[in-house]
Amino acid sequence: MRDAHVRDAVALLEYNRNIDSESRFLSREPGEMDLTVDEERGWIDSLLKQENALILVAVHGDRVVGMLDFVGGTWSRIRHSGEFGISVAQEYWNAGIGSVLLDSLIDWAYKGGIIRKLRLRVLASNQAAIALYKKKGFEVEGLHPHEVRIGGENFSLLSMGLVLE
Ligand SMILES: CC(C)(COP(=O)(O)OP(=O)(O)OC[C@H]1O[C@@H](n2cnc3c(N)ncnc32)[C@H](O)[C@@H]1OP(=O)(O)O)[C@@H](O)C(=O)NCCC(=O)NCCS
């Protein structure tokens, strides 16, 4: 596992297209990811330049098999907090990659000294992810009904947070 580079753009796009078909817990429908390679490069580059942002990739050979992206707030009052997304390729689920990605995020936040609060939003039905976040110390902060619509049905999101003392 390592920080992402701009040269990961192609592999990351391929990874994201695959994971959208593998998981029913993500925000995008399969096929909806329509960024070009240049746009993906631009996105990676913009986060690399932000000292309160992070993109981690888990790699197997040339292939991205997991990722975590975190972005902190822009203004001084919210610079210390931010939201992340995390996913792992289906064939690697329950092998500890998600746990390592989260540990690395928390470690980076502590060491950087800027980030004091991590948060995320997760489908209330995503038991595996919620169990993992709770294991890392995240607490449920809110329930947001009707936030996600899949196949004509509405689903609730939970917001969860971890305060770094
Ligand atoms: C959520 C996700 C990132 C976890 O990554 P992972 O590499 O599988 O996670 P780990 O292997 O480190 O840990 C998984 C933990 O969940 C537990 N788990 C798995 N299925 C579970 C379930 N149905 N209920 C409760 N716990 C469950 C495992 O037992 C394991 O805990 P343990 O280490 O105490 O045994 C991965 O499953 C994923 O990408 N899912 C699809 C996308 C997604 O849901 N992303 C999160 C959106 S908020």
pLDDT of amino acid 62: 87
- CB within 8 Å of 43: residues ≥ 6 apart: 35
Which atom in ligand 1 lies closest to the alpha carbon of residue 97? 7
Place domain 2-163 in its CATH homologous superfamily: Gcn5-related N-acetyltransferase (GNAT) (3.40.630.30)
* C-alpha pair distances (Å), 143 with each of 36, 64, 133, 137, 155: 34, 32, 16, 18, 11
Q: Is 0.85 topped by the overall pTM?
A: yes
| Average pLDDT of span 15-37 | 92
- Kindly state the tokens that stand for 61: 């050979």
Mean pLDDT, rounded, of the chain: 96
Give the pLDDT confidence of 106-130 residue by residue, as tens digits. 999 999 999 999 999 999 999 999 9
As for ligand 1, residues whose beta carbon falls within 6 Å of it are 23, 25-26, 86-88, 93-99, 120, 122, 126-129, 131-132, 135
